[in-house]
A and B are shown apart, each in its own frame.
Chain A
Amino acid sequence: MTKRYVLVHDENKCIGCQACNVACRSENNVPESVTRIQVRVEGPYGNFPNLHFKYNRVSCEQCEDAPCVKVCPTGAAYVNDDGIVSINEKKCVGCLYCVAACPYKVRFINPETRVPDKCDFCKESRLARGEDPACVSVCPTQALAFGDANDSTSEVSQLLDTKNHYQHKVNLGTKPRVYRIPSRKGGIKV
């Protein structure tokens, strides 16, 4: 695996507008009742007048040690050479083991295919054409950065080298590949 795709979400720049959520829905034909990304607006935190909100991106973290892949009995949840956690619809029986096992609760059953669905960094469409994922392209404040963390000249490497950042639930050992730059105001509350 030569590439190591990661996503960086800058919670200072994010305004919680859901443009990413909508772009993802149209790019990936996500049915109306379900969703692959949400940016939850949490808070307010702090004391008046220093109030602020936290923008919490919820989407597949593309774990390097993905519990969803480990538990899948048929190998329908798998990782390719590209390192992106994917789903083979043909092999899946719909046992929901992966849905239960995902610590980030981002897998859901697609009501049309009856198979688990989730973010795959738009790997078959935009990534295959060399473009950024839809959410990254559409973000009006450039709060999202996507790229190869193994390439030290990439934007994501530079961000991760120079900015304070954190990941969700690292204690579970899943090694998530979504990195977050915490809001300057207030501490980290995960």
Chain B
Amino acid sequence: MNNIWGSMEQYDPVVWNWIIAVYLFMAGLSAGSMMVAIGLKWYRQSRGLPTEGLPVIKAAAIVGPISICVGMALLMLDLTKPFEFYHILLNYNFTSVMAWGVLALLFYIPLVFVFSGLIFEKQLLSLAPWLSGVAKICRKLENSLNKLIFVLAIGVGIYTGFLLSALISYPILNTAVLPALFLASALSVGSAGNVLVATLFFSKKESDCIEQVHRIEYPVAFNEALCLVLLFVGLNFSGPAAQAATAAITTGTWASVFWIGVVGLGLVVPVLASTISPKSWRHTKGFLITVSCSTILGVLALRHFVVYAGQSYIS
């Protein structure tokens, strides 16, 4: 039966859809892979170890720029006026988290390309010798540039969380835990992405340098799990509408996405894989590929869960 007041279609609480979820994933992947690569560089430098030609860092130089560009392309296509996206680069309303995000990305994206350019300097210069002057300057500034990229990557990772938490009427989204959760999961998907690409394309020995990346896995997984617990425990204490939203993890499709995707693939599989699996497996290609794919799917599920379940419960 039709309502006498008309169609309810435009009142669907889910405004942002999977395109935004994938964008948030891509932005997290890019930011995470940069943080992991630069962090690894610093770690090795501080120990006097060589950093040239590390597979994981090479992988980041591929993952970082490609994923952010795919993400931006999706984001643009999702605008109702994609050809007028440049307005977003000209007008800034600084009460808007999105404006801050655009500003961070405006610097982040070119710098990620500079990062890659320096990693693949030889290949780049053989293709475009006229860039050698620029490359020299960038090489001189490399240390400061890396610091800047690291800070901007934290910014990008966190802003994607604040973007959603600014939506005040959705209890699952409107919490301060969300940015922390997004940052932690950006780190885990970033390291998984780096490991995956490194294993597939750059490592010659099976165990090439994946050790240090593994080292951040536990604390990151722990933080992610903690954020999820805080999120849902917090909802329980934030009034009836928020309490009702905890149904997101007990009923419906999104509950399965949460338990199977976010918790299962994203947290349980990787943690079990690196604790109970036989030592002899751990550095085999197949193992590394499986575990990193599992983490990546888990984070993809997390972004979808947050975007959809988050918008489905409105206070």
Question: Which chain A residues have a beta carbon within 8 Å of chain B's beta carbons?
Answer: 16, 18, 21, 33-35, 38-41, 58, 67, 69-76, 90-97, 99-103, 105, 108-109, 114-115, 169, 171-174
Contact = CB atoms under 8 A, between A and B. Distances in A.
Contact of B80 (A33, A38, A58, A114): A114
Nearest to A90: B87
Interface residues on B, range: 35 or more
Given A33-B9, A70-B95, A101 B80 contact: no
Nearest to A102: B169
12 contacts: A21-B6, A38-B5, A41-B5, A70-B95, A71-B95, A73-B92, A73-B98, A74-B92, A91-B87, A93-B87, A96-B15, A96-B78
A100 B80 contact: no
Contacts of B226: none
Nearest to B17: A96
A163 to B, nearest CB: 25
B4 A73 contact: no
Given A91-B91, A100-B167, A101-B167, A39 B5 contact: yes
A69 B9 CA distance: 23
A22 to B, nearest CB: 10
A150 to B, nearest CB: 25
Interface of B: 3-7, 9-11, 13, 15-16, 78-82, 84-85, 87-88, 90-93, 95-99, 102, 163, 166-169, 239, 311, 314-315
A99 B20 CA distance: 14
Contacts of B99: 73-74
Query: Closest 3 interchain pairs by CB?
Result: A94-B80, A103-B169, A73-B98
A93 B81 CA distance: 5
A103 B168 contact: yes
Contacts of B13: 105
A73 B81 contact: no
Contacts of B315: 103, 169, 172
A103 B173 CA distance: 13
A93 B79 contact: yes
